Amino acid sequence: MATGFDRLAPHYRWMERVLAGSKLQHCRIAFLDTIPAPRRVLLLGEGNGRFLVELVRAHPRASFMCVDGSVRMLDCARAQLQACGLNGDAVQFIHADVLNWSPPAEQFDLIVSHFFLDCFRRDQLEKIVPVIGALATREARWLLADFREPPKGWMKWRARLILGLMYLFFRRVTRLPAGSLTPPDGLLMASGFVLRERRLFDWGLLHSDLWVKEGDFLTTDASG
């Protein structure tokens, strides 16, 4: 269970401001203006609600399910909505470990997992991504901002250093299962998602992705 994040929750906002300024938030909201209005949104590991606030503001008619393993992160997200004068009635907060979560029998046209999949080892992602992918409607969007390691040059070594320090910190403070980054791209593709657009930030250390579920369209019958 991600209870280690409870310790971090009250400090998460200022730590982000000091260490990353507004870079992570730019990644989170990169595609907010371009996605079609969602009806039902699933947010995984939303944390203290920085993206949730912007999403509710942009799409006040949608309904939201926010799943997080940290009670205190969920409390922060609730408080953040209130502080911004937004209606929290449309947001369902669920305290659950995604690894053991039994998803509801419903579908979502928008999935959001910002800075969340990097918490897991490959074997855990192999479990999580297909389960979440199966909850997506046809043409659902999946917004995913996260860290990455550029393929070569000084940017790769810079990223390695930063990621190494980050994992050291998060493993110690939150007991994070992952010790390094596992790109989830192949698992998203195997779940029927296609990368529509990727934007890079901070010399390639950060990326923001717009994935679209198009699996249904790929299974055309060409035999006749």
Ligand X SMILES: C[S@@+](CC[C@H](N)C(=O)[O-])C[C@H]1O[C@@H](n2cnc3c(N)ncnc32)[C@H](O)[C@@H]1O
Q: Which of 20, 32, 71, 99 binds ligand X (CB under 6 A)?
A: 99
Interaction of residue 133 with ligand X, rule CB under 6 A: no
Q: How far apart are CA 192 and CA 26, in angstroms?
A: 27
Q: Which of 31, 115, 193, 211 binds ligand X (CB under 6 A)?
A: 115
Taking the least distance from each CB to ligand X, the nearer of 136 and 206 is: 206
Interface with ligand X by CB under 6 A: which range of 32-40, 97-105, 178-186, 216-224? 97-105
Considering only CA atoms, which of 55, 217, 11 is closest in space to residue 145?
55
Which residue, 70 or 80, is less far from ligand X as judged by CB? Answer: 70
Q: Does residue number 146 form part of the binding site for ligand X (CB under 6 A)?
A: no
Q: Which is nearer to ligand X, 46 or 209 (CB)?
A: 46
CB proximity list for 83: less than 8 A, separation 6 or greater:
none
Pattern 45-84, ligand X, x by CB under 6 A: xxx---x----------------xxx--x-----------
When the beta carbons of 47 and 184 are compared against ligand X, the nearer one is 47
Half-sphere exposure (Cβ direction) of 28: Cα atoms closer than 13 Å? 23
Please report which helix (H) or strand (E) contains residue 2, including its range: none
Cβ proximity to ligand X: between 97 and 197 the closer is 97
Count of residues that interact with ligand X, criterion CB under 6 A: 18
Q: In sequence order, which residues have a C-beta less than 8 Å from that of residue 188 and are 6 or more positions away?
A: 129, 133, 142, 144, 195, 211
Report the distance separating Cα 202 and Cα 194, nearest Å: 24
SS3 content of the chain, % helix, strand, coil (to 5): 40, 20, 35
* Residues in touch with ligand X (CB under 6 A): 2, 5, 28, 45-47, 51, 68-70, 73, 97-99, 114-116, 119
